[in-house]
Amino acid sequence: MRLEDTPAAAAGTFPVGDMTVSRIGFGTKRLAGGGPGDITANGDRDRVTALLRQAFELGINHIDTAAFYPSHPEPQRGPTAFSSLGWANQLVREALAPYPPELLIATKVGPTDAGMARPDQLRELVEEDLRDLGRDHLDLVYLRQHGLASLAEHFGALADLRDAGLIRHLGLSNVRLEKLTEARSIAPVVAVQNRYGVDFGRVNDEVLRACGDEGIAFVPFFALAASGRESGGVAPNDSVQAIAAKHGATPAQVRIAWTLSQGSHVLAIPGTSDPGHLVENVAAGALRLSPEDLASLG
């Protein structure tokens, strides 16, 4: 597949380590949907695998996933309240294996049902991802940290797995600038995944700029849901709605376009369980917001 010949090409590409990815990727967290469409309730795996294949056909070659994603919506119980089910990784394997060489699959380790994993538990989590995805190495592994005074031991453990050939590239998730600096003193960091979006607090502006200066991909999560966080959907916003009406676009497309406008190193990973929304999300790569649009969005 030639990325430049696909609909996703309108968003451009960015190098993540030694791989080049479309700037619009796909997050698997929303694949399960919820309610009547929940794949875990209805066993509708064919629909989900078809959606993942459609994403690749549209030019998306960056899939973001994790073993700890819950299989259905559940009450927010804090940053480590995850169900370690592995279903998302297994569906990625069913849909896309054998994997094309240009496809980057990013995973995250750290959270467990019992809280933040210890450094000595990280190898087991990486090996679980390898089994579920059916791979002999992982393209990109984020350390999803929470509450660590220092991430040296955890990131060092992942660096050892990288040196052993189980991991190709390393990233960080949910970190401040000082943690990024600490990690980079241990091993190269190719991507940072933090919360970021329109009307969602700009506490990560400094991290975003630092990533741009160092050629590190910045990958926002909750870019569409914003303050809705785990509930998903697209957060309501009058300015977003007005700009969407002006451009004949959807609010989700405006939020994705705003995300991409924050720098050539910024990647979007909107997730959905709806094929129509997937097409719309990819089309957002061609939406160009004016300076006036961007000013009104802050």
Nearest in space to 147 (alpha carbons), one of 117, 167, 106: 117
Would you give the DSSP letter of residue 268?
Answer: B
Which residue is catalytic, options 69, 99, 142, 196?
69
Residues 137, 101, 208, CA angle at the centre, nearest 5°? 75
Distance CA 154, CA 46 (A): 37
- Cα-Cα-Cα-Cα torsion 146, 151, 153, 157, nearest 10 degrees, comes to 80
Phi, psi of 55 (to 5 degrees): -60, -45
Amino acid at 94: E
Nearest in space to 169 (alpha carbons), one of 124, 134, 204, 216: 216
The b/e string for 251-269 (b: 16+ C-beta within 10 A; e otherwise) is bbbbbbbbbbebeebbbbb
**Tokens 């376009």 map to which residue?**
257
**Contact present, 93 and 32 (Cβ < 8 Å):** no
**Contact present, 234 and 224 (Cβ < 8 Å):** yes
Q: Is 196 a catalytic residue?
A: no
Catalytic residues, which ones?
69
